[in-house]
Amino acid sequence: MSQILRLVLPKGHLEQKVIGLLERIGMGFNFNSRSYRPTCGDPEIAAKMLKPQNIAALVALGRHDCGFTGHDWVVEENADVVELLDLGFDSVRIVVAGPEDPVTAANREERPLVIASEYERITARYIDRRKLNAVFIRTYGATEVLPPEDADLIVDNMSTGSTLHSHRLAIIEELMTSSTRFVANPQALADPWKKEKLDEMCMLMESTLRAEEKVLLEMNAPLECFERLIKDLPCMRAPTISPLYNGEGYAVKIAVPARDVPRLIPRLVAAGARDILEYRLEKIVV
């Protein structure tokens, strides 16, 4: 009987990003609209869909070998998992925030602060560290609407801060940063077959994510401008160079950050490069 790696996928806003990445490494899924158990094209993978909030704890318990969740939920659940890879998806800051209006913020009787959040443990640690007289209220989304009537402070995640600003809330303290992680159960990593499978997945995902940030530029460099062109040519390590037919110059290939291309191509043309081609990359394995 072949071995099986039990993988849990995030249901919700992370779903398409994670599944899209897995498809790019050759791990496609077939979904039934009513099923939370998609079929993976890799017969060695058994997948299930769950909310990211539950994934860290269930992987830590060994109910699944690996899965995708936010670092914030690993911390919140105090989950004994190994973070194998930071995908960089949904990068957020976990912050303490309260009303911008100092009059509103101070307009309360001598009573415990009410702090609202989805993050019970993270909030409890903040209360303890700051030695606050406070009570915790759990929220189930839309935490930012509670102040000032229903909460004095909130602990919430934010990306741009526009939601907090629209509700006239100001950041009081940043507690941590978070993004999507690929996590595994320590016992799964102790299994040689599962560890090899997880290592392969990490290598392919990391190479795919790396390729998203770069493009391949290919160009011809005439002999008279070759040395000038090659002198300050940006690349990952060293450019790939091969002679052109009849010794008329060289073909040069470089992998560069995609964000640099609009500024780089005019420089290459000015330095004498010709016939410049730009390619999108699928994977970069280093």
69-119 confidence digits (pLDDT tens):
999 999 999 999 999 999 999 999 999 999 987 555 445 557 889 999 999
**Share above pLDDT 90 across residues of the chain, in percent, rounded to a whole number:** 76
- Which tens digit of pLDDT belongs to each residue from 195-208? 999 999 999 999 99
| pLDDT number for residue 102 | 58
| pLDDT number for residue 1 | 47
Q: What region, left, alpha or beta, does residue 279 occupy, with left being phi > 0 and alpha being psi -120 to 50 degrees?
A: beta
What is the rounded distance in angstroms from the CA atom of residue 5 to the CA atom of residue 275? 47
Residues 6+ apart with CB under 8 A from 130: none
| pLDDT number for residue 81 | 98
What is the rounded distance in angstroms from the CA atom of residue 38 to the CA atom of residue 168? 42
> Which of 232 and 220 is assigned the larger pLDDT?
220
Average pLDDT over every residue of 229-245: 82
Average pLDDT over every residue of 136-141: 93
Average pLDDT over every residue of 248-262: 91
pLDDT mean across residues, the chain: 91
Return the ∠ at Cα 206 (arms to 201 and 210), rounded to 5°: 155
Residue 149's φ and ψ, nearest 5 degrees, are -70, -40
Rounded alpha-carbon distances, angstroms, from residue 54 to 50, 99, 196: 7, 31, 25
| pLDDT number for residue 109 | 58
Whole-prediction pTM value? 0.86
Percentages (nearest 5) of helix, strand, coil residues in the chain: 35, 35, 30
Per-residue pLDDT at 253 exceeds 50? yes
Per-residue pLDDT at 222 exceeds 70? yes
- In one-letter notation, the amino acid at residue 209 is L
Per-residue pLDDT at 270 exceeds 60? yes
What is the rounded distance in angstroms from the CA atom of residue 142 to the CA atom of residue 152? 15
**What CATH fold (topology level) applies to the domain 92-178?**
D-Maltodextrin-Binding Protein; domain 2 (3.40.190)
CATH of domain 214-280: 3.30.70.120
Q: Contact at 8 Å (CB) between 217 and 278?
A: yes
- Which tens digit of pLDDT belongs to each residue from 148-162? 999 999 999 998 888
Q: What's CA 35's distance to the chain center, in Å?
A: 26
| pLDDT number for residue 232 | 73
| pLDDT number for residue 47 | 95
Tokens 């094209």 — which residue? Answer: 41
Domain boundaries, the chain: 5-88+180-211, 92-178, 214-280
Rounded alpha-carbon distances, angstroms, from residue 270 to 148, 267, 279: 59, 5, 21
Average pLDDT over every residue of 228-238: 78
pLDDT band at residue 236, thresholds of 50, 70 and 90? low
Q: Contact at 8 Å (CB) between 214 and 256?
A: yes
Say whether 214-280 and 5-88+180-211 share the same fold.
no
Residue 107 per-residue DSSP state: -
Residues 6+ apart with CB under 8 A from 192: none
| pLDDT number for residue 89 | 95
Tell me the CATH class for 5-88+180-211. alpha beta
- Which tens digit of pLDDT belongs to each residue from 36-50? 899 999 999 999 999
Q: Which of 6-10, 165-169, 191-195 has the lowest mean pLDDT?
A: 165-169
Closest among 204, 207, 209, 248 to 226, alpha carbons compared: 248
- Which tens digit of pLDDT belongs to each residue from 1-27? 469 999 999 998 899 999 999 999 999
| Cβ neighbours of 285 (radius 10 Å) | 10
What is the rounded distance in angstroms from the CA atom of residue 221 to the CA atom of residue 125? 60
Element (DSSP H or E) covering residue 19: helix 15-24
- Adjacent-strand bridge partners of 279: 216
Per-residue pLDDT at 32 exceeds 80? no
